[in-house]
Structure 1
Amino acid sequence: MTPLFSLHRRRVLAALGALGGGALPALFAPEAHADDYKALVCVFLFGGNDGLNTVVPLDARYTPYAAVRGRLALPKSSLIRLGGTDFGLHPSLASLASLSGASGRLAALFNTGPLVAPLTRADYLAAKGRGPGVPGSLFSHSDQQTLWEAGSADLQARTGWGGRAAGQMQMRNPVISVGGNGRFGLSDSAVPLVLPSPGEYFGAHAMADTSGALAKRKLALQALYAGNAGNGETPLMSAFAAQQRDAFEVSDRLRDLVWLSPGQQALTAPLDTAFAPLIRDGKFTNPLASQLYQVAKLVLGRAVVGGSRQIFFAQQGGYDTHNAQIADDVLQGQHAGLLKGLGDALAAFDAAMQAIGMGNAVTLFTQSDFGRTFAPNASDGTDHAWGNTQLVLGGAVKGGAHGRFPELALGGPDDVGVESWERHGRWLPSASVDQYAATLLRWLGASEAQLDATLPNLRNFGSARSLGFMQA
């Protein structure tokens, strides 16, 4: 008897179209597949990325930057100019150089962070750093991750702005996470769909073994499937049955696409080529690249995934750089290594999207706990701060620099520190997470009413509902 997994694999690959000569099937050729697909890809940089060394001023502001940063300051000659601006990228982001130039596919958004409403330094100081107008538990990893993922000033928020947006926009699928479970993809009625790495089986139905313990599990699964074919005797049982049916349907629909690894099918050849520098002996050498390859496959196989709008979530950890952030060689050190992994993965993903004709339909953006202090600590590192620089990548992006870069002065108008001992350069954000999310979601197709329902504080920013870094 042919294993169930093999039958499903053939069915999915048949749905993807005939494979021939290593070329994309006609279903996915841009000129033959006029769909209205758009997707957002969130890459969360857990730990708090040092945005001040990710994008550095090249003009007169470089002097105060170098003076305060001291040993952590990047040499001006090492920086990669962000096309048409007075800013440069960290040299470890060299893979993004071609995207930051004339093509304008890369944008930097300055000094963004959680806010309830526009907030001045005077207001912050008058409130003594707390109160209804100030986000709670500033400078705390877990709490600020909550506020970024939730798009809310409520530290008790259960849902995330990605999940709420998916619900408001009635997307076919929930948020698809390739970076584990988290608040970002939660809504009141759905949890994120968490997928494994390429080459790993998704869904218990994928078990092909018909002997021993797996056979017993398969029988149990079949019984579950049959038992949830109808509605239950109570509303709670009916809701549970519906969730079970949805889970089985998603498993059947996506598992073989999820399972594909580089080099296994001609279908993925354009993706394999784009990610090839980050693969050795068939294995990814870059964990974030593995996640983004999975996302790229789901964009390529969007006819199987279903829906014309999708939100994805990926993540890279390790950004809590309290010590050894830099080394004598600017391409060495903890932060340089992290940015090298980030830049290489983002460049490969963008190349993959362009190779399959979806470069203008997919926008990738970063989030992170918070920025890091302008002044370094005594351990060649930086500490927890507030406003931060984020990167946005894709063909629909207005490349270059956006937002107001903070004034680089300890104790200055953007530093929330008061006493000399607390003047570290913890910048008060000039743009909010709500405005950031709204700018991305409006491009995705969200209406103004849907934005207000998704982002509860957006109304507090009046007419400043867009940060202007996306094409119309």
Structure 2
Amino acid sequence: MGATTMFGSAVVTMDGLTNPALAATTSRTKPATSVIVLISLRGAADGLSLVVPHAEAAYYAGRPGIAVPATSLLAADATFGLHPGLAPLLPLWTAGKLAAVHATGLPVANRSHFSAMEEIEDADPGSSARVGWLNRMIGAVGSSSNLKGLAVGSGMPSSFLGPEPVMSFRTLETANVAGDDASHERIRALRAVWTGSKSPVADAFRTALDSVVDLTPATEQPNHAAAYPTSDLGKALSAVARTLRADLGVSAVTVDSGNWDMHVGLGKPDAGWMLRNATDLASSIAAFFDDLGPVADKVTLVTLSEFGRRVQQNGTSGLDHGWGNVMFLAGAGVKGGKYYGTWPGLQNTLDADVQVTTDYRSVLAEVVAARTTASTATVFPGFSPETVGVMTSL
């Protein structure tokens, strides 16, 4: 599958229809003034491993086989320190471009992967409308670009569902299909068929045909994929960097990272699943900001996971579903080199969670308010965000 453009409930796949490069209208792809890149840590990452509360005796008592020793932590202060696998991010931390907010999450615990992620990505509790917070945001920004929203990966996340057109592709190469004279003829024929049609899906097809985006400038950007990990995340962020350097008007991007569902065999700090994931995440983000060049000055990256893990390790050297978690923020506008949030402390009991003291929407709302012209009341309906203090304004 290649490029897909989504309009409300209608999804039109471009492969086999037309070449995006041939149907382009460059006048409608204006550079964005700021870009929010959301990395979803799918499977519920363990925030207590990524940002370790080393001052908590309960952390070490509850995790005799998997706890990260205080002596191995990076960028440690009196309370927290980073997992050693996050070493590639230290230059961003030292430069004041990377921060962490601990004890974040949903206001009420939800330990179902699918349900929790949908709730987080809708960010509109109680609403029956299937509209995600990023779709509301790009609609409120008011850009005239055809490519305001971009999902790089295997599908369209709930955060982008809604009336605003967004695009999804696995790779730039599959999104930008090779074209020939036959492609021109197909697009002309399709326009003729759907112009004036009264079919219920006619509006969606007309909008799709008018909104196909020229990705040629992105494919023509220097490809620095060799500087990234060979993981799906590394490949995706490499494609995102090329797209953003092409200034096609993108203001919001989503990328998935996973699997973080470590019920079994999380591993020790110097080997295993958590170390591999943390190293891949950090190496991919570090390469991404290096690859962006001057464009990095307008890009803010946020990581988010559906929930965290319990304090105690289970009987299979893993961790079961919990509640509170950590969010990372990097790039433009971030007041970095610091840990944020109100720390609730830990308990070493079987069902102990990290308690949520900062609603995740407060963190996202601060990013939206600082980096876009969108109203946070529109993006997060009915929610009154608290001040986190992690962002500076444009």
TM-score (norm 1): 0.71
1:77 aligned to 2:18? no
Q: Deviations over 1:321-367 (max 9, x none)?
A: 0000014xx231111111111111001011122xx212221010011
Indicate which of 282, 298, 304 corresponds to 1:367: 304
Q: Relative to structure 1, is the Cα distance of residues 245 and 64 closer, same or farther in structure 2, using a 3 angstrom cutoff?
A: same
**Quick check: 1:196 aligned with 2:161?**
no
Please state if 1:345 is matched with 2:284: yes
CA contact (8 A) 1:109 1:391 kept: yes
2:39 touches 2:254 (CA, 8 Å); kept in 1? Answer: yes
Large movers: runs of 4+ above 3 Å = 4-12, 154-157, 217-222, 230-234
Paired with 1:141 and 1:434, the residues of 2 have a C-alpha distance of 18
Match of 1:429 among 352, 356, 359: 356
Alignment of 1:131-170 (within 5 A): 134=108, 138-154=110-126, 158-170=130-142
1:224-373 matched pairs, under 5 angstroms: 224-228=190-194, 230-233=195-198, 236=200, 239-247=203-211, 249-250=212-213, 253-254=214-215, 256-258=216-218, 260=219, 267-268=221-222, 272=224, 275-278=225-228, 285-302=230-247, 305-306=248-249, 310-327=251-268, 330-353=269-292, 356-373=293-310
- One-letter amino acid of the counterpart of residue 259, structure 2: G
In structure 2, give the amino acid aligned to 1:455: F
**Partner of residue 341, structure 2:** 403
Task: Tell me if the contact between 1:85 and 1:401 (Cα under 8 Å) persists in the aligned partners.
Answer: no
Change over 3 Å in CA distance of 1:394–1:424 after alignment to 2: same
User: Which one of the candidate residues 80, 87, 100 is aligned to 1:108?
Assistant: 100
What's 1:469 paired with? 390
Give the secondary-structure state (helix, strand or coil) at the position aligned to 2:37. Answer: strand
Conserved 8 A contact 1:231-1:242: no
Shifted more, 64-73 versus 138-147: the winner is: 64-73
Rg larger for: 1
Q: Which residue of 2 aligns with 1:90?
A: 83
- TM-score normalised by structure 2 residue count: 0.85
Say whether the 8 Å CA contact 2:22–2:179 is kept in structure 1.
no
Q: Residue 381 of structure 2 aligns with which residue? A: 456
Structure 2 alignment gaps of length 5 or more: 1-17
Residue type at the aligned position of 1:439:
E
In the alignment, is the contact (CA less than 8 A) between 1:148 and 1:367 conserved in 2?
no
How much has 1:141 moved relative to structure 2? 0.5
SS in 1 for 2:316: coil
Aligned to 2:3: none
Counterpart of 2:11 in structure 1 is none
Matched-pair contact (CA < 8 Å) for 1:434–1:457? no
Take 2:205 and 2:265, find their aligned partners in 1: how far apart are those partners? 52
Identical pairs, percent: 26
Q: Residue 4 of structure 2 corresponds to which residue in structure 1?
A: none
SS in 2 for 1:365: strand
Which runs of 5 or more residues in structure 1 are unaligned?
A: 17-34, 116-133, 279-283, 412-422
Q: Give the 3 Å change call, closer, same or farther, for CA 156–7 of structure 1 in structure 2.
A: closer
2:37 matched residue in structure 1: 41
CA RMSD of aligned residues (A): 2.9
* 1:7–1:345 CA distance, 2 compared to 1 (3 A): closer
Q: Which amino acid aligns with 2:364?
A: A
- Note if contact 2:104-2:356 (Cα within 8 Å) is conserved in structure 1: yes
Deviation at 1:146, TM superposition (A): 0.6
1:143 deviation in Å? 0.5
Structure-1 separation of matches of 2:148 and 2:342: 34
Check if 1:445 corresponds to 2:384.
no
Q: Distance in 1 between matches of 2:21 and 2:58?
A: 64
Task: From the superposition, tell whether residues 226 and 85 of structure 1 become closer, same or farther in structure 2 (CA, over 3 Å).
Answer: farther
Can you list the C-alpha shifts for 1:268-303, whole angstroms capped at 9, x where unaligned?
2xx62xx5333xxxxx6121111111111121111x
Distance in 1 separating the partners of 2:297 and 2:390: 14
Counterparts of 1:335 and 1:225 in 2: how far apart (Å)? 51
